[in-house]
């Protein structure tokens, strides 16, 4: 009975450890996918923001670009640390599992040794025959014969179990060595990343020092850019509200306070809006390759704490001659020519609108139906900065939405 309890206890531990390790391995895969995504982001930052190293960039632009790379690098260090810590837990779990297997293997070997010893004492054919002939009747002799067969079978099974457990122990030991190697590799990579980060921060400190000498001048530049951005936002808002009013008027909808800034939807438009909404967090990026350099909402400048800016959408840096892509099926309802000489495309998806601002060439016209990932135009490249930046916005009726909530992994 004690032996049975012991074996059951070991089996329970084995199951619990196996489930734990499997769960952690899945988490490890998720962290590795995240780490690879950050590495790709850093690669894109280097390509898209630092390709103009030979050209003259303002101190403010240099600081902002470095800040983008530093944040990504810090994120990489954080995720790599999580991976290393998780590997430590997995190694400890494996050590516990190995100890349990060793205990089980020891118990199996002791049982097997006892069987061998007992078998050795009665190994002669004469002993076996005498064991059968000493039976009081035929039924007892039959039972003894069955017992001898079962004993031989059990002995064989014990031998097989020892073989299986020994192989399992060897596999675990091999896995443990691999895990320790992975952990050391991550630690070494993190060490190199920290050295690079320290140098980046040192470079940035020199730029920040010069930035703070003329803080008033740079703050004025940022506020001037924000004023320009606010004017653009007002234009976009006005275009969308005018489109809602025109759409409702053409459908014969009576305009009230509740419907003045809300599309009156047909059955088809309702279905399209519902489909767009159901894809929240799964929409494709509006560019094939890019990195977000300005996020949605209010943001305090990292080096000028007294300066706060607001972004009505996201700004994505991408490669020269990159195309803007529709994030969902819809209808183009406006091509705007901006004061800066660029263009903006407005696409309606039922009660939702996506806006693609800062295009050079446009491939579509008002009234065109577009499909998901269809190219709608070429993004403008600034001749002075050398940067190719798309401003992307999402609205529900006349209400601005955070694009990062809608676009996959933004």
Q: Could you report the per-residue pLDDT of 41-74, keeping only the tens digit for each?
A: 888 888 888 865 445 567 778 888 888 899 899 9
| Among 213, 244, 266, residue at a domain's last position | 213
190 confidence band (pLDDT: 50, 70, 90) = confident
- 137 and 19 both lie in a single domain: yes
**Structural domain for 263, as ranges:** 215-405
Does some domain include residue 365?
A: yes
Q: Are residues 41 and 143 in the same domain?
A: yes
Asked if 243 and 335 count as a contact pair (C-beta separation under 8 A), the reply is no
Q: Are 356 and 325 in contact (CB under 8 A)?
A: no
46 with 6, same domain: the answer is yes
Average of per-residue pLDDT across 330-347? 95
Q: DSSP letter for 338, please.
A: P
- Confidence (pLDDT) at 14: 43
Q: How many CB atoms lie within 10 A of CB 262?
A: 16
Tokens of 35: 């780490």
Among 28-42, 106-120, 289-303, 311-325, name the one with the lowest average pLDDT. 106-120
pLDDT band at 257 (very low <50, low <70, confident <90, very high): low
Residue 410 forms part of a structural domain: no
Q: How many domains does the chain have?
A: 2
Q: Looking at the predicted structure, is the pLDDT value of residue 187 above 90?
A: no
> Do 373 and 288 lie in a common domain?
yes
| Same domain, yes or no: 200 and 236 | no
- Over range 16-32, report the average pLDDT: 64
- In this structure, are 133 and 247 located in the same domain? no
Q: In 312-385, which ranges are E strands?
A: 314-318, 323-325, 330-337, 343-349, 352-362, 369-370, 375-379
Whether 276 is in a domain gets the answer: yes
**The whole model's pTM is what?**
0.68
For residue 291, give both structure tokens.
């990195």
Count CB atoms within 10 A of the CB of residue 141.
Answer: 15
- Confidence at residue 201, expressed as pLDDT on a 0 to 100 scale: 84
The mean pLDDT of the chain is 82
Mean per-residue pLDDT, 239-246: 94
Q: Are residues 196 and 235 in the same domain?
A: no
| Residues 239, 184 share a domain | no
Residue showing tokens 């590799």? 185
259 to each of 150, 236, 255, 268, 353, how far by Cα in Å?
A: 85, 19, 6, 19, 17
């Amino acid at each position: 009975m004690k032996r049975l309890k012991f074996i059951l206890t070991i089996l329970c531990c084995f199951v619990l450890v196996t489930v734990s390790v499997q769960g952690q391995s899945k988490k490890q895969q998720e962290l590795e996918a995240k780490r690879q995504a950050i590495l790709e982001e850093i690669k894109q930052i280097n390509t898209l923001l630092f390709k103009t190293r030979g050209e003259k960039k303002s101190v403010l632009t240099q600081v902002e670009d470095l800040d983008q790379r530093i944040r990504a690098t810090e994120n990489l260090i954080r995720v790599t640390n999580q991976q290393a810590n998780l590997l430590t837990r997995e190694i400890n779990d494996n050590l516990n599992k190995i100890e349990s297997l060793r205990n089980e293997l020891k118990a199996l070997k002791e049982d097997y040794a006892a069987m061998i010893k007992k078998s050795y004492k009665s190994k002669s054919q004469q002993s076996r025959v005498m064991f059968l002939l000493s039976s009081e009747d035929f039924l007892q002799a039959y039972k003894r014969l069955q017992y001898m067969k079962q004993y031989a079978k059990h002995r064989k099974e014990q031998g097989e179990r020892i073989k299986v457990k020994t192989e399992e122990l060897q596999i675990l030991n091999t896995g443990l060595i691999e895990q320790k190697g992975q952990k050391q590799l991550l630690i070494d990579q993190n060490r190199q990343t920290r050295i690079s980060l320290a140098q980046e921060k040192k470079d940035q400190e020199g730029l920040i020092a010069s930035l703070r000498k003329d803080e008033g001048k740079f703050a004025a530049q940022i506020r001037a850019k924000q004023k320009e951005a606010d004017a653009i936002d007002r234009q976009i808002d006005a275009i969308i509200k005018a489109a809602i009013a025109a759409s409702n008027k053409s459908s014969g909808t009576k305009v009230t306070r509740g419907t003045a800034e809300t599309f009156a939807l047909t059955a088809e438009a309702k279905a399209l809006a519902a489909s767009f909404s159901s894809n929240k967090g799964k929409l494709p990026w509006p560019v094939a390759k890019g990195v977000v350099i300005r996020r949605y909402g209010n943001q305090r400048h990292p080096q000028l704490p007294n300066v706060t800016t607001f972004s009505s959408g996201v700004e994505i840096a991408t490669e020269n001659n990159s195309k803007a892509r529709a994030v969902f099926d819809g209808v183009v309802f406006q091509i705007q020519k901006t004061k800066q000489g660029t263009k903006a495309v407005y696409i309606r998806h039922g009660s939702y609108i996506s806006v693609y601002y800062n295009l050079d060439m446009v491939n579509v016209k008002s009234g065109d139906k577009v499909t998901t990932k269809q190219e709608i135009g070429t993004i403008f490249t600034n001749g002075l900065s050398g940067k190719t930046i798309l401003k992307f916005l999402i609205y529900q009726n006349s209400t601005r939405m955070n694009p990062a909530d809608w676009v996959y992994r933004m």
